Amino acid sequence: MQGGRLHIYEKPAIESGRMLIGLSGWMDGGDVSTGAIHYLLESLQTTRIAEIDPLGFYIYNFPGSMELSTLFRPDTTIENGIVTSYNPPRNRFHYNAANRLVLFSGKEPNLRWEEYTDLVLNFALRSDIRRICFLGSYAGVVPHTRDPRLYTTASTKEALREMETHGLKPSNYQGPAGIVTHLMVEAARRNMEVVSLVAEIPAYLQGRNPRCIGVVVRRLAAMLGLDLDLEPLAEESRTFEATVAKIIHEKEELADMVQKLEAEYDRDYLDTEMGDLRQWLEDQGFPLP
C-alpha cells in the first residue's frame, strides 16, 4: 500500500539529513507553519522529490452549513464554462542539497492518521533523516508588538535538552491533539527524533502574521545554519504592524487590552529570561513592578 500512496520522483543521496514539516489546519494560526515552509521553499534551491497521494486522507463532503462545508472542499476555478484548475490537498517533499534539508508541506489529514504518519516516518528512515522538526503555532496572550514565545516538545529527552539550548521552552498542554502528537508517539516507538517548534501568537489577530513567521524562520536559520535573506519578511512585518497599529489606535478598548498584554509580557520576560538583570536593578535601588 505504501508504494502506491507515496510517489518518489527522485531519491537523492542524503547523509544525516534534517526534515522540516509545515501543515495547514490545526496548528497553523497566522500561517506560521505553512508560511515558514513556503518562505524557505522560495529562498532555498529545492527539488520536489516525493509526494503523498491525498486520496482517502481528507473529508470533502462535510455535513452542515455551506460556510462549514466550504472549509473542507478542494478549491477550483471555472472560466467560461471550462475547469481551469482543481486543487486537492498537496503533500510534497522538497530537498535542498546544500543544507541536507527536506521540506515537507501539506495539509493535516482528517482521516487515517496512522497511515499518513507511517508514510512520513518511513520516508524519513529511507532517506537517512536524523531529525524531523514540526513547525506550528497556537493562539495565546502575546501582544503583536512583541516576538512570539517559542515552545518545544520532543520524542526524546536528549532532543528536548538540545532544543532548550536554542531558547525554546518545554511545552505544557492538555487538550485535543494534533497529528504532530501522533507523529511523535510513533517516532518514539521507532527510536526516531521528532521535535516541534511552536510559536504562541496573538489571539486577537486573524490571517497571516509575518512577524511571527519571521521569528520562526530566523530561529530555524540559526539552529540549522541556513544562509537566508530575511529582509523581505522584515519589510512585510513592518507593513503589517503599521496597519494593525492604525486599527488599534481607533479602538480604545483594544488599545487598552494590548497595553495590558505588553505589560504582562515584559514582566514575564524579566522574570524568566532576565532574572539577573531584575535583581541587579533592585540592588541598585530601581525596583521593577
CATH code at position 146: 3.40.50.10900
Same domain (yes/no): 146, 262: no
Which range (3-17, 70-84, 260-274) has the least confidence? 260-274
CB atoms within 10 A of CB 169: 15
Mean pLDDT of 27-55: 96
Q: Is residue 288, in this structure, part of any structural domain at all?
A: no
pLDDT of residue 2: 47
Q: Which residues, 6 or more positions from 45, have their beta carbon under 8 angstroms from its beta carbon?
A: 96, 97, 98
Query: Which residue range(s) make up the domain with 266?
Result: 241-283
Domain match, 268 and 173 both: no
Judge whether residue 30 has pLDDT over 50. Answer: yes
Least confident of 30-44, 113-127, 178-192, 251-265: 251-265
Claim to verify: residue 17 and residue 138 sit in the same structural domain = yes
**216 & 258 share domain:** no
Clarify whether residues 27 and 140 are in a common domain: yes
Please give the residue that has the higher pLDDT: either 2 or 7. 7
Beta bridge partners of residue 22, listed in sequence order:
105, 135
Question: Both 22 and 132 in a single domain?
Answer: yes
pLDDT at 1 over 50: no
Specify if 76 maps to a domain.
no
Angle at 25 between CA 47 and CA 102, to 5 degrees: 20
Provide the number of structural domains found in the chain: 2
- Judge whether residue 231 has pLDDT over 60: yes
Q: Is residue 289 part of a domain?
A: no
Please check whether residues 138 and 49 belong to one and the same domain: yes
Is the pLDDT assigned to residue 281 strictly greater than 70?
A: no
Per-residue confidence (pLDDT) for residue 69, from 0 to 100: 80
pLDDT higher than 60, residue 279: no
